[in-house]
Amino acid sequence: MLDVVINVEEKLSGNFNIGAGFGGSGTGVQLNTSISQENFLGTGNQVSFAINTAKTTKRYSFDFYNPYHNLDNVSRGFGFNFMQEDTTNTDTQTTFKSDRKELSFSYGIPMTEENRINFRIKAQTYNVKSSKDSAQELLDFIEKHGDDYTNAELIAGYTIDTRDRRSFTTSGFKTNLKGN
């Protein structure tokens, strides 16, 4: 009888970013932070979260991706984004307020070990409000189409990935072809 003991040590596979800046035209201080983890809690799932704030724009996003959703290596993911814009108290040529919400779901189906077909459906809702200093083009658009609208998008893609590993690749390549 032979006992084999294997010790596996996981490498760090995440990113933490933080930033700050100052913008002109009355946008003021900008702060952003993001966290992404390619092996969240040792599950193999990829999770990311980001916050970007400024006087004119605020954006929050969350994404989840499971590269091995089932035993056939079908991948699955989803994401949520929320963005608010308010240019009413800035030095810009036109002013408006808007809210955008986006929800997406994705699936990837392996064709071979190196080739994959990807599908993503994305739904977006927009709300746009004009102000006394809004451009005539925006006022005309809101009058014609209303201030609330929804958009849906289907994105299909094909990926070829021959890399030996995702980080610090020594051989191979990755290429994507997408259309919507």
Q: Say whether pLDDT at 10 is over 80.
A: no
pLDDT (0 to 100) of residue 11: 66
| Residue predicted with more confidence, 141 or 50 | 50
Residues 55-60, mean pLDDT to the nearest whole number: 90
User: pTM for this structure?
Assistant: 0.77
108 burial type by CB count under 10 A (0-12 exposed, 13-18 middle, 19+ buried)? buried
pLDDT of residue 96 exceeding 70 = yes
Residues 6 or more apart whose CB falls under 8 angstroms from that of 104 comprise 77, 78, 79, 80, 120, 121, 122, 123
In this predicted structure, what is the pLDDT of residue 168?
Answer: 81
Residue 50 reports pLDDT greater than 90: yes
Q: 92: pLDDT confidence band, cut at 50, 70 and 90?
A: confident
Contacts of 3 (CB under 8 A, 6+ apart): none
3-state DSSP assignment of residue 111: coil
Candidate from 51-55, 102-106, 136-140, 163-167 with smallest mean pLDDT: 163-167
| Cβ count within 10 A of residue 18 | 10
pLDDT at position 55 over 70? yes
- Which of 21-35, 68-82, 99-113, 141-155 shows the lowest mean pLDDT across its residues? 21-35
Answer whether 115's CB lies under 8 Å from 158's CB.
yes
Residue 12: the pLDDT is 65
Question: Exposed (0-12), middle (13-18) or buried (19+): which is 84, by Cβ within 10 Å?
Answer: middle
Higher local confidence (pLDDT), 28 or 106: 106
